[in-house]
Structure 1
Amino acid sequence: MKLIDTLEESSIVADLQASEKQTALEILVDAMTRSHPEIDKHDILNILLEREALGSTGIGDGIAIPHGKSSQVSQIISGFGLSKTGIAFDSLDGNPAHLFFLLVAPENSVGTHLKMLARISRMLKNPEFRQKLLEAHSQHDIYQIIAAEDAKY
């Protein structure tokens, strides 16, 4: 499965304006649930916050991959947020996060969930991809950048 198959353009926040982790997650979940109105945003937010309580999904290098599992979804769905200024996300390196890939998977999707996390991590190892995302200005631009990189794998 490709990442782009899980991402709706309307689930992309091209100018993520938040000063802290919970607000960033609220904005990202809000965008995702606009694309998937059948999903309860409070439930998804609580799942993500519970996951963050176990350990931050801020992996360093300005990247965070908040993720969780929910009985409300039957297939993996994703979202993306770009913060030009950066958001304190308790990242491993202590630096703010700028690039946010949000992932919500069905409760029973162990293998698929891990494969998608690995796919995102692999894509983000490419510094040119990260730089293109940081320089993007719109949902459409971000969607196209992700689609082009995703097609390489």
Structure 2
Amino acid sequence: MTDTTLTIENILAPDLALCRVQGTSKKRILEFIAEQVNRHDPALDETEIFNNLVSRERLGSTGIGQGIAIPHCRLEGCDHVVGVLITLEEGVAFDAIDNQPVDLLFALIVPKEATSEHLELLSQLAEKFNDRGFCDLLRQCTDADSLYQRMISAS
């Protein structure tokens, strides 16, 4: 990676901020994330993304509590970090640490040789999502554009 500082703004494309998505299950949401990443960057394999997200979830849920999840995985052949921000129409069971349904997700797909920068990004996201007021602002968005703008203006 050539850029030294990863920010939410430079990993989240406007077309990967998705508002009020219908989600029926954790598996379906992970499939949806893989589809969206592949649609955004066809060089990244949808099946591989999905399988890697599922494998990561098996190690322990990425549901961090209060309706929030940060699913993430490393991906062979990926040379840049891809972020996907999703609000769900209704919360879905995600095996979160507090057993609450998840309705706000920020997925990260990172290169296989991910460095400490990527851990720093996860930490930044967790810190942002720890702010209940900020999460409420994201949840109130009714369209993808406002969702994207609120997310990047906070970075």
Q: Same fold per TM (> 0.5)?
A: yes
Distance 1:44 1:139 in 2: 23
What is the 5 A alignment of 1:75-90? 75-90=80-95
Match of 2:79 among 55, 61, 74: 74
What is the 5 A alignment of 1:4-153? 4-150=9-155
TM-score by length of 1: 0.94
Distance 1:128 1:15 in 2: 18
TM-score by length of 2: 0.93
Which amino acid in 2 is paired with 1:136? C
Partner deviation per Cα, 1:79-130 (whole Å, 9 max, x = no partner) = 0110131011011000100100000111111301101100101111222210
Structure 1 runs of 4+ aligned residues shifted over 4 Å read none
- Point out where structure 2 has 5 or more consecutive residues left out of the alignment: 1-5
- Point out where structure 1 has 5 or more consecutive residues left out of the alignment: none
Aligned length: 150
Partner deviation per Cα, 1:48-71 (whole Å, 9 max, x = no partner) = 000001111011100000001011
The answer (yes or no) to whether the contact 1:16–1:82 under 8 Å persists in 2 is yes
The answer (yes or no) to whether the contact 1:10–1:34 under 8 Å persists in 2 is no
Residue in structure 1 matched with residue 3 of structure 2 by the alignment: none
Range 32-41 or range 85-94, more displaced: 32-41
Distance 1:127 1:74 in 2: 33
Distance 2:113 2:29 in 1: 27
Distance 1:58 1:132 in 2: 19
The answer (yes or no) to whether the contact 2:23–2:90 under 8 Å persists in 1 is no
% identical equivalent positions: 29
